[in-house]
Amino acid sequence: MDSLPVLVVVSLALGQAIDRPALNEADLAAKLEPIYQQQAAAYEFRLTTDDKAIAPFQMVEQPAMRWTATGNSGAVYIWTQNNLPAMVGCLGAFVANSGDVEAFHEFHLLKEESIRPVAIGSRYRWQPKTGCVPATPVTDAKAPAETDKLRLVQMRQLARTFEAGMITDNGSTVLRLSPTPLFRYSNPAAGIIDGAIFSYLWDLGTDPEVLLVIEATGNSETSSWQYRPIRFTWREVYLAREGKELWRVPMHNESRRSVLLQDSYVTCGLGSLAGLISEATLPDDSTLPSP
């Protein structure tokens, strides 16, 4: 099915004056998460190489994580194909300079192949030219252990050897690693013995800004580790290990320049959420830029 999803979000009825309540991040998150869930389920992602007989990516029903920051909240979702992560997305809301609460959606394709076009709101069309960055071997790590439990210990230890950072208005900020993976998976038939997605968080809340995919690949006789950095913010971010920078991506502002988005990462603003109305639809003429 190639139809593009229709997204449901909270909005203010035109012409209706509403007293804006004091924002509480926990309350805001609780009220908006059912909306995030409905929005996420409406998306349909398919590889360009897939025919109609192949099912689209499967959304993991529960969020991989929920986060809050000052005046912000969001939920992170994972989509899989053949039990392997294929897409990661964050559906959230933030407080703009005007004081209005505005929605945003961001996604990063986790496959190296591209996907078919997807609508994000009524303004944007996402059609990435390429997939995510290829994985890089970790040549100095011990071979993957034989048990799930020990491999998780190894993956956590390996994630700690990396440093993820972000450029903010105050300069370079080192992000903190969350020891609990967002998602863990395996598909031995595809050569993935074990894998996990780790997140690096800003100190201002618990919003993930960089993701790190770590995988044990091979078979029972020969196996090794590989990693893949994933940006999860519009800000400039980097990844380093043992004092050596391995990866850096500049500030991302594609949705401010175009309505046809072609990068493997995308973030789009979807308009004001002023007045926390439980059920409404986003106006079709929403044209707000990405946060």
Residue 172 contacts residue 166 (beta carbons within 8 Å): yes
pLDDT at 22: 52
Give every strand in the sheet of 237-241, ordered side by side: 171-174, 162-168, 237-241, 244-249
End-to-end CA distance of the chain: 30
Residue 36 is which amino acid?
A: Y
Distances (CA, A) of 144 to 24, 153, 184, 200: 44, 10, 15, 23
In which residue are the tokens 């079709």 written? Answer: 284
| Mean pLDDT over the full length of the chain | 83
Q: Which residue has the higher pLDDT, 2 or 149?
A: 149
- Tokens linked to 152: 């998780």
The count of other CB atoms within 10 Å of the CB of residue 129 is: 8
Task: Report the C-alpha gap between 196 and 185 in whole angstroms.
Answer: 6
Q: pTM for the complete prediction? A: 0.84
pLDDT (0 to 100) of residue 26: 67
Q: Any idea which of 110-124, 143-157, 194-208, 260-274 has the lowest mean pLDDT?
A: 260-274
Higher pLDDT, 162 or 281: 162
Rounded Cα–Cα distance for residues 166 and 173 (Å): 5
Which range (91-95, 96-100, 193-197, 284-288) has the least confidence? 284-288
Q: Assign 226 to helix, strand or coil.
A: strand
Write out the two tokens for 111.
């496959």
Helix (H) or strand (E) holding 166: strand 162-168
Q: Which residues contact 278 (CB under 8 A, 6 or more apart)?
A: 10, 31
Tokens standing for residue 151 = 């491999």
Tokens of 217: 């690949």
The domain limits of the chain are: 25-272
Non-local (6+) Cβ contacts of 257 within 8 A are none
Which residue's structure tokens are 């439990």? 149
Alpha-carbon distance 290 to 271, whole Å? 9
Length of the chain: 291
For the chain, the helix, strand and coil percentages under 3-state DSSP, each to the nearest 5 = 15, 40, 45
Q: Which residue has the tokens 């398919």?
A: 46
Q: How many CB atoms lie within 10 A of CB 281?
A: 12
